[in-house]
Structure 1
Amino acid sequence: MPGLDLGRLVEGLREQTEGFAQAVAGGDPEAVVPTCPEWRLRTLVAHIGLADRWAAELVRTGRPVPAPDPAAANPGVPGVPGEWGAWLRAGADELVGAVREAGEGSQAWSFFGTVPAAFWVRRMLSETAIHHCDAALTTGAAFRIAGDLAAEVITEGMELMADPRAETAVPKLALLRGAGERLAFRPYGMEGWVITRLPEGLRWERGNGPADVVVSGTLTEVMLVLARRRPPGEVTGEVTGEVTGEVTVEVTGDRALLEHWLEHTLM
């Protein structure tokens, strides 16, 4: 269940949508996204704007709707970077409006089964936040995310991967089953997350208990390592709070266990 209420999730979606819009403003539509090399910047923009509108349709109808292909010809997607911002904001607003009209507890379809409509605001907050980082890495813009939102992105990822229905939707997650191995992700100065790989699936909890491998860094950096947008390891430089610059991401323990996790993770 979300740690943040719907009001903050809505604010967070809008914050990250605005950050994404600013990051892509004036960018080259044909620029390759380094963290998603199969995509151009225009594809990344299309993905977020279309996904918001798709999620809104799922909420309105309560049944599955074919997911849009951001690489296909989509007449509604602006081809001019100067028009991207307004289109992206409108997509987030459409999703928020659909959830509020339906009621946050109303039921909607998802790949994991039936979920409360508010699930899609949280899901698109996480999706937008990670792709905001992708956009910033593509254009050289700054990436920022508030601490409570970064923590929510991490928690949502843990919940999705530990859901018993997850392996049906994403079969590679079965490769993350284990024999009790534990991975800890510990942001500086706060309670972290511990994942346990069990024969029957994944379990996670908040805390700083013992683990076979530990990743430590700022909250933003830990989020980005989990999302495979930052390489785990020793990257030295100035710690800049919630702004991702070159900071220290420390890994202690069984690095092979971490690398296997990152290779097969959903986030």
Structure 2
Amino acid sequence: MDYRAALIDETKAFGDLIGTADPATPVPTCPDWTIKQLFRHVGRGNRWAAQIVADQRGQPLDPREVPNGKPPDDPDGAVEWLNDGVRLLIDSVAAVGAHTPVWTFIGPKPAQWWIRRRLHEATVHRADAAIALGADYQIGPAVAADAIDEWLERVVAESATGTATSERPLGRDQSLHLHATDDGLGTAGEWTITGGDDGIAWSHEHGKGDAALRGTAKDLLLAIVRRQSAADGNIEVFGDTAVWDGWLARTPF
């Protein structure tokens, strides 16, 4: 996947959807946020990531210190500000080198890691905006499947050995299987997630989990990030539903 092109496209779609909306509209999937706050969060986040990369930082950066971190008041200028932030990030990665290590919230990663992270930040927050505005939300199956991959990588990193067993999304020897029904995904549309002594692991192998979910990649993505319930996404849930409920309760929002 061309993550740079996908990030540009996804950010444009987010801006097109949200740019002319009433900024005071509540966002129910991001409690206490409005459309204005959601827009600023995504736009400033891209500039925040660009600054981390440009400075080759080894430590976190306070988002309040990001230059030009607030959008202008006029809608057209705000959308331009949003899209310019993506170009800043892409240019920063090109300038320092894609494989240059920089700070991330799950440990040092190559600079290009931030492009994929910001792509899927926009992917999920575009869904938030669509839900808030009552708009249709569509996403390509390959992008949705990669968003699930990227999110699982984060869960694995955050549920390493240092996390108490009781706080991990899956207990020892518990398993969860996701199966995307979209044509053409192949093994990229299956995820087998297991709990062990050292935390959580996952693969694209076909498997039979204690709980299993079957639906489109888009609906599986929205379910695991808690933007919609399995029932709302017409997802079939098999096996021990308590395993799925526990997974939702102990994974990042």
The answer as to whether partners of 1:25 and 1:81 remain within 8 angstroms in 2 is: yes
* Farther off after superposition, 157-166 or 16-25: 157-166
Q: 1:68 to 1:126 in 2, by over 3 A?
A: same
Of residues 205, 213, 225, the one that matches 1:227 is 225
Distance 1:34-1:216 versus aligned 2 partners, 3 A rule:
same
Alignment of structure 1 residues 158-169 onto 2, 5 Å: 158-163=152-157
Asked if 1:79 corresponds to 2:65, the answer is: no
Q: How far 1:106 sits from its partner (Å)?
A: 1.1
CA distance in structure 1 between the aligned counterparts of 2:199 and 2:219, rounded to whole angstroms: 26
Show CA shifts across 1:160-202 (max 9, x none).
Answer: 211267677x989943251211011110154310110123200
Aligned residues: 245
| Pairing of 1:55-94 with structure 2 (within 5 A) | 55-63=49-57, 64-68=59-63, 76-94=70-88
| Unaligned stretches of 5+ residues in structure 2 | none
Structure 1: distance between partners of 2:104 and 2:166 = 17
| CA deviation string 1:11-50 (max 9, x = no partner) | 1111110111111022111111010022111000010110
What value does the CA root-mean-square deviation take over the aligned residues? 2.3
Query: 1: distance between equivalents of 2:166 and 2:112?
Result: 25
Instruction: Show the 5 A alignment for 1:202-221.
Output: 202-221=200-219
Q: Which runs of 5+ in 1 are unaligned?
A: 236-246
Q: Does 1:19 align with 2:13?
A: yes
Q: Normalising by structure 1, report the TM-score.
A: 0.84
Q: Distance in 2 between matches of 1:37 and 1:224?
A: 16
Partners of 1:67 and 1:119 lie apart in 2 by 19
**Is this contact kept in 1: 2:28–2:132, CA < 8 A?**
yes
Q: Could you tell me whether the CA contact under 8 Å between 2:160 and 2:198 is conserved in 1? A: no
- 1:46/1:193 CA distance change after superposition, 3 Å: same
C-alpha separation between the residues in 1 aligned to 2:89 and 2:161? 27
Q: CA deviation at 1:208?
A: 2.3
Contact 2:169/2:248 (8 A) holds in 1: no
* Structure 1 residues 120-159: aligned runs within 5 Å: 120-159=114-153
- DSSP 3-state at the match of 1:91: helix
SS at match of 1:251: strand
| Corresponding residue for residue 259 of structure 1 | 245
Of 171, 176, 179, the match for 2:169? 176
Provide TM-score, normalisation by structure 2: 0.89
Partner of 2:25, secondary structure, is coil
* Greater mean alpha carbon deviation, residues 215-224 or residues 187-196: 187-196
Residue 263 of structure 1 deviates from its aligned partner by: 1.5
CA distance in 2, matches of 1:40, 1:164: 28
**Could you tell me the percent identity over the aligned residues?**
31
